[in-house]
């Protein structure tokens, strides 16, 4: 009788622990990572080979451009919640067409500018950032 009760209590303990673990969301699945695909603006240079593995003109036919007009401020650009580029390196970049949330953050990670922009294929959307 004691062995039966002992096995029953162990089975109940294992079942309860399993149910508790299944009900708690996994930390890895709770965090959603966003992947943002940006492309550099192609520059015509006869001495440098085409930098993309795509055929020439692919970016122009399938992407739109966002150009940031900034006045002497260095910032990190976040597109749709994901890190995209530093403005010191590149103030114009290509994005897939559609609506995108653009955030600019300073070196401390504080957001100082946020705007939703519409990107159209082959068009340049200019964003004027106040100083």
**pLDDT for the residue numbered 10:** 82
Return the SS3 of 105: strand
**Structural domain boundaries of the chain?**
32-128
Return the CATH number of the domain spanning residue range 32-128.
2.60.40.1120
**H or E stretch covering 12:** helix 2-23
Residue among 62, 82, 69, 75 nearest 130 (CA): 69
- Residue-level pLDDT, tens digit, the chain, 131 residues: 777 887 778 888 888 887 777 766 655 555 566 656 555 555 554 444 555 566 666 666 778 888 988 877 788 889 988 888 888 767 888 888 899 999 999 888 899 999 999 999 888 899 988 87
**pLDDT for the residue numbered 115:** 93
Residue 102 φ then ψ, to 5° = -105, 130
Global pTM value: 0.57
Give helix then strand counts, H and E, for the chain. 3, 8
Return the SS3 of 27: helix
**pLDDT for the residue numbered 101:** 93
């Amino acid at each position: 009788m004691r062995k039966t009760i002992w096995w029953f209590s162990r089975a109940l303990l294992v079942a309860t622990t399993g149910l508790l673990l299944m009900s708690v969301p996994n930390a890895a699945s709770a965090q959603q990572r966003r992947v943002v695909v940006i492309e550099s603006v192609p520059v015509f240079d006869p001495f440098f080979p085409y930098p993309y593995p795509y055929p020439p003109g692919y970016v122009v036919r399938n992407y739109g451009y966002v150009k940031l007009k900034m006045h002497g401020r260095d910032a990190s650009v976040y597109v749709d919640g994901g890190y995209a580029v530093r403005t010191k390196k590149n103030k114009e970049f290509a994005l897939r067409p559609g609506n995108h949330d653009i955030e600019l953050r300073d070196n401390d990670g504080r957001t100082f500018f946020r705007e939703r922009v519409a990107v159209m294929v082959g068009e340049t959307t200019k964003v004027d950032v106040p100083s």
